[in-house]
Amino acid sequence: MKSKEHTRQVRDKVIEKFKADLGYKKISKSLNIPRSTVQAIIQKWKEYGTTVNLPRQGRPPKLTGRTRRALIRNAAKRPMVTLDELQRSTAQVGESVHRTTISRALHKVGLYGRVARRKPLLTENHKSRLQFATSHVGDTANMWKKVLWSDETKMELFGQNAKRYVWQKTNTAHHSEHTIPTVTYGGGSIMLWGCFSSAGTGKLVRVDGKMDGAKYRAILEENLLESAKNLRLGRRFTFQQDNDPKHKARATMEWFKTKHIHVLEWPSQSPDLNPIENLWQDLKTAVHKRCPSNL
């Protein structure tokens, strides 16, 4: 049974009477406390020089320092690890503790369990687009004014397979003003190459047949530098193209090097970053409104 703890005042009286040369038995009788208590108070005073309660060690930790450090390393390296997994890891080294004990140990070093926030998965293309954007954050407006943007596009001369509504009377569905011309077997379209800058549009070229590396270089030879000259971009302009294989072919890149033309590094699969897409859309809208009658 745990003995009663006496007040500081009682302990001080024990020491006061002891200093007055009273024996343990007389002190015990005068203060009405057990002789063993008097002896313990005096021994403590002799050893520590005080009657104040000393800090107590308390219950020993359930986790050894080594196991606690291992838990902290595990949680820091593997943020998705569960309390059950951490609990099993402590049991494997012979220290079976409750989940609450593990949580408390992690809280002391600032690690708290929280619901993971959902974040869209970034592909390599996303990362390259982000890198492209951050690498050009500091570019000035004058730099972008020196860029000659380019691209190819397929122009459907008779419109795409979209529905158009017309106001018509009964039995007039096949009148020419109520119909949209169509061409079968993939006809009715042309391939175009074009370029533009902030100063205006450059050359627009119709591509006959299939575009390959040689044909692409011929288009550049005949139209790129002339377009840059007409738009007054100066000698130190930047040319933009996407990463189509014929654009990035060794012979094509050698051509740029020979002509001393700086080519803008472009992230893969990023047509939406090219402002020429807006120009193509305006051109296609204008062509579809005119409804051409021949190729």
**Boundaries of every domain in the chain:** 8-48, 65-107, 141-290
Question: How far is 12 from 47, CA to CA, in rounded Å?
Answer: 15
- Mean pLDDT, all residues of the chain: 86
| CA end-to-end distance (rounded Å), the chain | 109
Per-residue pLDDT tens digits for 187-210: 578 999 999 999 999 999 999 989
Would you list the DSSP string of 160-208?
-S--------TT-TTSGGG-----STT-SEEEEEEEEETTEEEEEEEEP
Closest CA to 222 of 197, 255, 247: 255
Question: How far is 160 from 288, CA to CA, in rounded Å?
Answer: 9
Beta bridge partners of 189: 156
* 93: confidence class by pLDDT, cuts 50, 70, 90: confident
Question: How far is 280 from 204, CA to CA, in rounded Å?
Answer: 11
Centre a 10 Å sphere on the Cβ of residue 44 and count the other Cβ atoms it contains. 17
Question: How far is 204 from 255, CA to CA, in rounded Å?
Answer: 20
Per-residue pLDDT tens digits for 140-160: 999 999 999 999 999 887 655
Per-residue pLDDT tens digits for 205-252: 999 989 999 999 999 999 999 999 999 999 899 999 999 999 999 999
Higher per-residue confidence, 168 vs 87: 87
What tokens appear for 163 in the block? 């529905």
**What average pLDDT score do residues 116-130 get?**
85
Task: Decide which of 3.40.50.720, 3.30.420.10, 3.80.10.10, 2.40.128.20 is the CATH code for 141-290.
Answer: 3.30.420.10
Does 1.10.10 match the CATH number of domain 8-48? yes
Question: How far is 263 from 239, CA to CA, in rounded Å?
Answer: 5
Residue 24's H or E segment, with its range, is helix 24-31
Say yes or no to pLDDT of 279 above 60: yes
